[in-house]
Amino acid sequence: MDDSQKTKDELLAEVQGLRRALRQNSADLEQFTYVASHDLRAPLRGIANLSQWLEEDLGPRLSEGSRRQLELLRGRVQRMEAMLDGLLDYSRADRARHKSEPVPVDRLIHETLERLSPGPPARLEVGPGMPVLVTERAALQQVFQHLLSNALKHAGREDVRIRVEVEPTAGFHHFRVADDGPGIAPRFHEKIWNPFQTLVSRDKVEGAGMGLCVVKKLVEGRGGRVWVESAEGAGATFHFTWPGSEERIS
């Protein structure tokens, strides 16, 4: 075996070692996130319960201002729990893989919106040509759930209109989720994909700020792309490409 072949073998062994280390680090991070999330929930629930007991024990002696402060405290606890849930979703996004199955995307989108239970004024339009994709149902549903939830949450009104469209591209399907909400200024188009990012105060729009970074990780972890087109006051269109062969219905 010559020196060049030894070098190739050594490089291959090094690459394989790095891959094993990366997988182990990823597994360790997921385990740490799970344990930290689990261990933090107990004291958070204790804080919420204690505030509720104080409110009940003090009863009429509690001023309206103090009552509002206790309600605010419980709201902060709920926010922290939502952030922990978001961290868990994020840590699992590129690791949890499911068997591919035929997924009627039109039905998946409607089922996802029903789970979000928006008010009757909200409207969803699904464009023609939605495929039956052979893909990971849970992952694709999670992407749509975050994008639809994001549109509903940030609309600022109940009669938001959301339209989902698709077009096939080479090896992928290009989906667009558009809304007629307040839009996003171009200077924030990159920032919104980072963890814990919100463009408005959480006192106005409650959220953990993890949804879009989970979407990005899910999509890119499967070889796709995700981006946004928007301007302030002109709604937003979220684009993503998703792999999966299309099942032909005879």
Task: Read off the pLDDT of residues 163-208 as tens digits, 9 standing for 90 and up.
Answer: 999 998 888 999 999 999 888 889 989 888 887 767 655 555 555 6
- Residue 39, SS3 per DSSP: helix
Res 250: pLDDT:
46
Q: How many residues does the chain have?
A: 250
In this model, does residue 156 exceed pLDDT 90?
no
Among the listed residues 208, 159, 204, 201, the one whose alpha carbon sits nearest the alpha carbon of residue 179: 159
The full set of domains in the chain, from first to last, is 3-92 (1.10.287), 101-246 (3.30.565.10)
Tokens of 1: 């075996």
pLDDT band at 86 (very low <50, low <70, confident <90, very high): confident
Signed CA dihedral, 206, 210, 212, 218: sign only: negative
* Gap between the Cα atoms of 175 and 164, Å rounded: 7
In this model, does residue 161 exceed pLDDT 90?
yes
33 vs 54 pLDDT, higher one: 54
Among the listed residues 48, 237, 53, 52, the one whose alpha carbon sits nearest the alpha carbon of residue 150: 237
Q: Are 106 and 164 in contact (CB under 8 A)?
A: no
Least confident of 14-28, 38-52, 163-177: 14-28
Signed CA dihedral, 187, 193, 194, 196: sign only: positive
CA angle, corner 76, sides to 214 and 41, nearest 5?
A: 70
